[in-house]
Amino acid sequence: MSDVLSQPLTLPCGVVVPNRLSKAAMTEGLATSSGLPTPELERLYKLWSEGGAGMLLSGNIQVDADHLERPGNVVIDKEPDDTMKAALASWATAATSNGNQFWAQISHAGRQTQTNVNKQPKAPSAVKVGLPGGQFGKPIALTTEEIADIVRRFGVCAAACKEAGFTGVQIHAAHGYLLSQFLSPRSNLRGDNYGGSLENRARALLECVAAVRSAVGPDFPVAVKLNSADFQKGGFAFEDSLQVAKWLEHASVDLIEISGGTYEQPKLLGVEGLEEAEEQNVQHSTKMREAYFVDFAIAMQEKVSIPLMVTGGFRHRDVMEQAVSSGGADLIGIGRPMCVMTDAPKQLMNGLDELPRYERELAFFPTWLSFLNAIKPLRAMATFGVQFWFYAQLDELGTNGQAVPEISPFSATRRVMALQKKLLA
Ligand SMILES: Cc1cc2nc3c(=O)[nH]c(=O)nc-3n(C[C@H](O)[C@H](O)[C@H](O)COP(=O)(O)O)c2cc1C
């Protein structure tokens, strides 16, 4: 029994998270082609709810159907009609069946919208994602009216989720999606109030926070997923992240989830991008090395008193316990292990020492991944291939209630591509 991980956490708004383990946001791809939640999503989240996590974060819920992160995202881009209201409510009921928190992650993909969804997405500036393969088009810079419309949509989406029975919301400002694009001087070259100084680059995020807070009221949890850094030369750096965290604290945010990286530099998954990663000025401890961002969280805790969730790389119970006991993390986010072991939180709290590292086994998958990994420009493809393996697990859990860890990355990729094709038809 882990006393540390089983402790409840009270958030600034007064809501209590029953324990310190959270299922991290993972895009499911299980909505209909029009973005409606499905029985498959309900099955998946019921399993996770029964798995003992104090909190479940949904995958990206998009505020614009033309800016999906992936076909099959749930989309709330306007006041929901009765069908959408009923589908959201059924999903929320299934996802809270064990008395846990269930928060909606609200997002807009911006320039990280794939060309199969939108060949010319909108973004802060016309700066294309720097990856080979033609997966992303050159974006068009948003007008200030369009920015105001996106901010409004974040509020509409949050209100709809609250009404449907979600117990909190999270604004996605990490991983190179739209709000993270605004924060980075590499993807935001604007000369107006939304570009230039950090204060200006953080404006879109802070406006979304204000719209969401005003939509849900003071007693409802509002969180932000924020990069500790983009780990790119001239990008959003750790000092910037500290300053933004202070502003978020003032803006009555209840929890910041610390992650890092973008599609170009996928540190969030513990993977190096094509460019060499930009080192950040943070002292690294050796004790909790497996967790990618815990040292950033420890350094951030010195500057802000807002609760922090830390996600990325946690696999050992003692490391999770240490992160919580040291005050570095108030909540531990767990992603990939939950794609197969849906009751990982329950097992950890009952004393399980270590979670499986499926990503490591896949990285050594004969021929293809090791071959791709050896050639730098193809590493991005390998990362996407591994992601598809996890997507296939979520699809199988949602469809049949059981994961398929034996599937190869090749078959998983074929399967996910076929599903996407169906959704786009
Ligand atoms: C299949 C998959 C889907 C993901 N989708 C999202 C998402 O929708 N939103 C998000 O913020 N992060 C997403 N992530 C990142 C995870 O939330 C998490 O930051 C990452 O997996 C690292 O945690 P882990 O080492 O415990 O897996 C995704 C990761 C995976 C593997």
- Supply the DSSP string of 74-117, one letter for each residue: EE--SS--HHHHHHHHHHHHHHTTTS-EEEEEEE--GGGSBTTT
Is the CB of 201 inside a 6 Å radius of any atom of ligand 1? no
Domains of the chain: 3-354 (3.20.20.70), 357-425 (no CATH)
Q: What is the mean pLDDT of residues 291-310?
A: 94
Tokens of 192: 């107006």
Task: Answer yes or no: are the C-beta atoms of 203 and 211 closer than 8 Å.
Answer: no
Residue with tokens 């990069």: 227
pLDDT in tens, 168-199: 999 999 999 999 999 999 999 999 999 999 99
> Is a pLDDT exceeding 90 seen at residue 241?
yes
Tokens found for residue 19: 């324990």
Dihedral sign for Cα 201, 204, 205, 206, please. positive
DSSP summary character for residue 322: H
Q: Which residue has the tokens 């059981």?
A: 402
Which ligand 1 atom sits closest to the C-alpha of 175?
A: 11
* Residue-level pLDDT at 366: 47
Q: How far is CA 285 from the centre of its chain?
A: 25
Coil, strand or helix at 230 = coil
Q: Which backbone phi and psi does 109 adopt, to 5 degrees?
A: -80, -20
250 vs 272, residue with greater confidence: 250
Tell me what the pLDDT averaged over the chain comes to.
93
Substitution candidate for ligand 1 out of 114, 336, 357, 419 with most atoms within 8 A of CB: 336
Ligand 1 midpoint to CA 26 (Å) = 5
Higher-pLDDT residue of 378, 98: 98
Q: DSSP letters of 365-400?
A: -TTHHHHHHHSHHHHHHHHHHHHHHHHHHHHHHHHH
pLDDT tens-place string over residues 33-80: 999 999 999 999 999 999 999 999 999 999 999 999 999 999 999 999
Confidence of residue 382 (pLDDT cuts 50, 70, 90): low
pLDDT higher than threshold 60 for residue 373:
no
The pLDDT of residue 408: 87
pLDDT at 333 over 80: yes
The tokens for 211 are 């719209």
* C-alpha distance from residue 293 to each of 236, 247, 317, 323, 391 (Å): 15, 20, 16, 11, 24
Q: Residue 216: what pLDDT? A: 98
* CB of 391 shorter than 6 A to ligand 1: yes
Q: What tens digit of pLDDT does each residue of 6-25 get?
A: 999 999 999 999 999 999 99
Say if residues 296 and 284 touch (Cβ distance below 8 Å): no
Q: Which pLDDT score, from 0 to 100, does residue 168 have? A: 98
Q: Is the CB of 190 under 6 A from ligand 1?
A: no
**Is pLDDT of 374 > 90?**
no
Per the CB < 8 A criterion, the answer to whether 173 and 206 are in contact is: no
Indicate if ligand 1 lies below 6 Å from the C-beta of 60. Answer: yes
pLDDT tens for residues 110-155?
999 999 999 999 999 999 998 887 889 999 999 999 999 999 999 9
Binding site membership of 344 for ligand 1 (Cβ less than 6 Å): no
Which CB contacts under 8 angstroms, 24+ apart, belong to 373-379?
Answer: 376/274, 377/132, 377/274, 379/271, 379/272, 379/273, 379/274
CA–CA separation, 43 vs 51, rounded Å? 12
Q: Does ligand 1 come within 6 angstroms of the Cβ of 105?
A: yes
When pLDDT is averaged across residues 371-389 and rounded to a whole number, the result is: 66
Sign of CA dihedral 402, 407, 411, 413: positive
**Please, which pLDDT band fits residue 420 given cuts at 50, 70 and 90?**
very high
Ligand 1 within 6 A of CB of 387? yes
Ligand 1 in reach of 25 Cβ (< 6 A): yes
To test the pocket of ligand 1, the residue of 23, 26, 311 to mutate (highest count of ligand atoms within 8 Å of its CB) is 26
Cα of 174 vs centre of ligand 1, distance in Å, is 11
In the chain, pLDDT over 90 holds for what percent of residues?
A: 81
| Beta strands 21-23 and 101-107, pairing class | unpaired
Query: Of 148, 142, 76, nearest to 106 (Cα)?
Result: 76
Q: Return the amino acid letter for 154.
A: F
* Number of neighbours of residue 1 by Cβ within 10 angstroms: 7
Alpha-carbon gap, residue 201 to 217, rounded angstroms: 25
C-alpha 115/C-alpha 120 separation (Å) is 7
Residue 67 Cβ < 6 Å to ligand 1: no
Q: Taking a C-beta distance cutoff of 8 angstroms, is the pair 199, 146 a contact?
A: no
Is 364 a residue whose pLDDT tops 90? no
CA angle 45, 50, 51 (to 5 degrees): 95
Measured in Å, residue 193 CA sits from the centre of ligand 1 at 31
Q: Is the CB of 262 under 6 A from ligand 1?
A: no
Q: How far apart are the first and last CA of the chain?
A: 49
Task: Say if ligand 1 is within 6 A of residue 335 CB.
Answer: yes
Total-model pTM: 0.95
Give the residue among 224, 50, 85 at the shortest CA–CA distance from 166.
85
> Which tens digit of pLDDT belongs to each residue from 256-297?
999 999 888 888 888 777 777 887 777 777 678 899 999 999
Residue 1 has pLDDT above 80, yes or no: no
